Amino acid sequence: MVLEKINQVGDIKQIPPEEYDTLAEEIRHFLVEKISRSGGHLASNLGVVELTMALHLCFDFPKDKVVWDVGHQSYTHKLLTGRKSGFDELRKYGGMSGFPKRKESDCDCFDTGHSSTSISAGIGLVAARDLQDGDEHVISVIGDGALTGGMAYEALNNASRLKRNFIIILNDNNMSIAENVGGMSEYLNGLRTNEAYTNFKTGVEQSLSRIPGGSHLANQLKKTKSGIKQLFIPGMLFENMGITYLGPVDGHDIGKLQDILNKAKKVKGAVLVHVLTRKGNGYVPAERHPARFHGAEPFDIETGLPLNKKKKANYQDVFSTCMVKLGQRNEKVVAITAAMPDGTGLKRFKNIYPDRFFDVGIAEGHAVTFAAGLAAGGMRPIFAVYSSFLQRAYDQVLHDVCIQNLPVVFAIDRAGLVGSDGETHQGIFDLSYLSSIPNMHIMAPKNKWELSDMLKYAVEFDGPIALRYPRGEAYDGLKEYRRPVEYGKSEVIYEEEDIALLAVGNMVKIAEQVRKNLKEIGYSCTLVNARFVKPIDTEVLDMLSADHKLLVTMEENVRSGGYGEKVMDYVVEQELPVKLLNISLPDEYVEHGNVALLYEEVGIDAQTVTKRIIEKYITCRKEQK
Ligand SMILES: Cc1ncc(C[n+]2csc(CCOP(=O)(O)OP(=O)(O)O)c2C)c(N)n1
Ligand SMILES: CC(=O)[C@@H](O)[C@H](O)COP(=O)(O)O
Ligand SMILES: [Mg+2]
């Protein structure tokens, strides 16, 4: 086994070139085998095996720096930098992250997770290097999908001013998670597929070189600003911006990759190396279904089918069905995604109403302002977006939607702990960052029927409104509690005395279990489904504080700026005679791991909450005596 010889960074340089192909094959085999058990980002990683090997052959890590955009494709890099054994605990709590982490290795120079940051970070590393007279190479590896994100353009705009070497590798597999979209994708398609053009260009160059003075003419033409230059230089867009373009090159040919990277090293200023790869390369199911194998659940290697059969509908399935119905009922309804049509459940809407569906690319900020424009133009836009990805559109939500009080619906998916993707992807801040914005309204459904009811309510609502729901299986309990959604009103599910649990969204399910535990040991306990986080239901707080000793707020969001703090503000301001317990996440980042385990870690599982309530209740009683 060649892979056995790879135990630390630099080991690949001892491997003879004739063994490179075998090593690539073994790495693929290793990745498929490990990810089939742990789950993870398979297709993107299989696509960059040779590219990563070439990088490690041409550069010296950790002295040289590579920034992986999104970072979901960094598995081979981890493998080549002494982290082989980490794959047994990949994405598990306490185990190796699925993304680059500075704390994991000195070969990871910059943490990523959200898209389109690598060129900015790379330029920062270059500036730091130059200010300190360093001589290391800085390389940013960005995918064609990530190149749809606005930050990447802002960074390219800046990169043109660089005087010293900075290498941008465009890993173009002609795919985002789903099909890639937009003008840049079209442009890259032109560069990658226009073989006739490439042949024509070479032909013209060769013909010129045969006539006296022809080579000189060819070189002169390359230097002009004229349109004829197009005949010689692909990647004109980058060239015209002052960024040298090299390629396209076959990203599965290690020799060619080494040649082009060695050329790129010598360029003064920013250079973009256009590398063509195939997502899922070498594993047939992933080649055929790159979207399904983008972020794969554990699967059977032979068939490629998931090992765990889905038993119940996900929130995303429920959302998908509701969207189709809403689209049918109201032709003003339009749906927007920022490159996540599959994950958010908008694919069916896209297929049925293609004209009212917009995939804007990995461009959350643009998506929000685009939605604002649609709303200002009389449509009812629903932007389905992961909680953590909406973080980067804060100003657009405030400046473009909320100041104008426009009726945009934010369907905030993956709200709460998402699990294996870890700290960059946990959706635990949205209640805080949205609720500080005037005019914004926020709801959270307790179960799948309420998601549907809230979505209908939101589409009719005249102003900005968000509903947040978690990743995965939709709760199908409490079916009989389905009173109509009313502005700012919560829903009292069980009414007793002493302790009142006020739970937000999916925490209602946990609160049910907590209530059961408390009742088993003799406590009397009310359960309220908060429904609205903004505005909070003050009437229910007035009512509960009259005949309860303790109000317990429960939410899957950080404490600062969350529901519990809003309740506390009100209770304190009104001097209500009741004690409070705030169950929320600590103001910290939560690492990767199984969600049930993370619940225990952060103390929002039913058992821990029950224990904390009993302790608090006992203290309250003592104080009252
Ligand atoms: C801000 C943000 N939005 C959405 C995502 C989800 N996401 C992760 S990878 C990806 C597609 C990236 O495509 P590309 O850069 O081409 O990489 P590939 O998977 O094709 O290698 C998306 C949309 C993200 N990580 N960050
Ligand atoms: C890397 C990335 O940002 C996405 O691929 C993310 O991992 C998707 O997560 P879901 O599996 O929750 O759709
Ligand atoms: Mg891609």
pLDDT in tens, 89-111: 999 999 999 999 999 999 999 99
Q: Is residue 88 part of a domain?
A: yes
Closest C-alpha to ligand 1, atom 4: 362
pLDDT of residue 622: 83
At residue 50, does pLDDT exceed 50? yes
Protein residues within 5 Å, CB atom, of ion ligand 3: 143-145, 173, 175
Final residue belonging to a domain, choices 468, 483, 512: 468
SS in 3 state form for 143-175? Answer: ECCHHHCHHHHHHHHHHCCCCCCEEEEEEECCE
Q: What is the domain-level CATH number for residue 410?
A: 3.40.50.970
Same domain, 455 and 495: no
Q: Which residues constitute the domain of residue 616?
A: 491-624
Quick check: CB of 343 below 6 Å from ligand 1? no
pLDDT of residue 196: 43
Query: 200-220 pLDDT, tens per residue?
Result: 455 555 555 556 666 666 566
Instruction: Return mean pLDDT, the chain.
Output: 94
506 is in an annotated binding site: no
Same domain, 358 and 501: no
pTM of the model: 0.94
Quick check: CB of 512 below 6 Å from ligand 1? no
**CA atoms of 74 and 45, how far apart (whole Å):** 7
Quick check: CB of 175 below 6 Å from ligand 1? yes
Catalytic positions are 279, 364, 392
Same domain, 262 and 324: no
Q: Quick one: what percent of the chain has pLDDT higher than 90?
A: 89
Q: Which atom of ligand 1 is nearest to the CA of 392?
A: 1
Of 377 and 625, the structure prediction assigns the larger pLDDT to 377
Q: Is residue 295 part of a domain?
A: no
Query: 238-294 pLDDT, tens per residue?
Result: 999 999 999 999 999 999 999 999 999 999 999 999 999 999 999 999 999 999 999
Residue 419 token pair: 């699990």
Query: 131-142 pLDDT, tens per residue?
Result: 999 999 999 999
Q: What is the domain-level CATH number for residue 576?
A: 3.40.50.920
Same domain, 319 and 240: no
Q: Is residue 204 part of a domain?
A: no
Q: Is residue 213 part of a domain?
A: no
Final residue belonging to a domain, choices 399, 434, 468: 468
Residue 441: strand pairing partners: 465
- State mean pLDDT over 499-508: 98
Quick check: CB of 471 below 6 Å from ligand 2? yes
The ipTM is 0.99
Q: Is residue 479 part of a domain?
A: no
Q: Is residue 369 part of a domain?
A: yes
pLDDT of residue 222: 55
Same domain, 267 and 402: no
Give the list of residues 6+ apart from residue 603 with CB closer than 8 angstroms, or none: 583, 586, 609, 612
Same domain, 274 and 350: no
Same domain, 271 and 321: no
Closest C-alpha to ligand 2, atom 5: 295
Helix ranges (H only) for 548-605 are 563-573, 595-602
Q: Quick one: what percent of the chain has pLDDT higher than 70?
A: 93
Residue 116 token pair: 């389109």
User: Can you give the length of the chain in residues?
Assistant: 625
**CA atoms of 565 and 542, how far apart (whole Å):** 16
364 is in an annotated binding site: yes
Same domain, 13 and 160: yes
- Please give the distance of CA 1 from its chain centroid, rounded to a whole number: 36
Q: Which atom of ligand 1 is nearest to the CA of 180?
A: 16
Same domain, 619 and 523: yes
Domain total of the chain: 3
Q: Is residue 326 part of a domain?
A: yes
pLDDT of residue 310: 78
Residue 191 — very low, low, confident or very high, per pLDDT cuts 50/70/90? Answer: confident
pLDDT of residue 621: 79
At residue 195, does pLDDT exceed 60? no
Same domain, 340 and 463: yes
Same domain, 184 and 264: yes
Query: 519-549 pLDDT, tens per residue?
Result: 999 999 999 999 999 999 999 999 999 999 9
Same domain, 153 and 99: yes
Query: 556-594 pLDDT, tens per residue?
Result: 999 999 999 999 999 999 999 999 999 999 999 999 999
Query: 439-469 pLDDT, tens per residue?
Result: 999 999 999 999 999 999 999 999 999 999 9
Interhelix angle 20-38/49-58, rounded to 10 degrees, is 130
Q: Is residue 474 part of a domain?
A: no
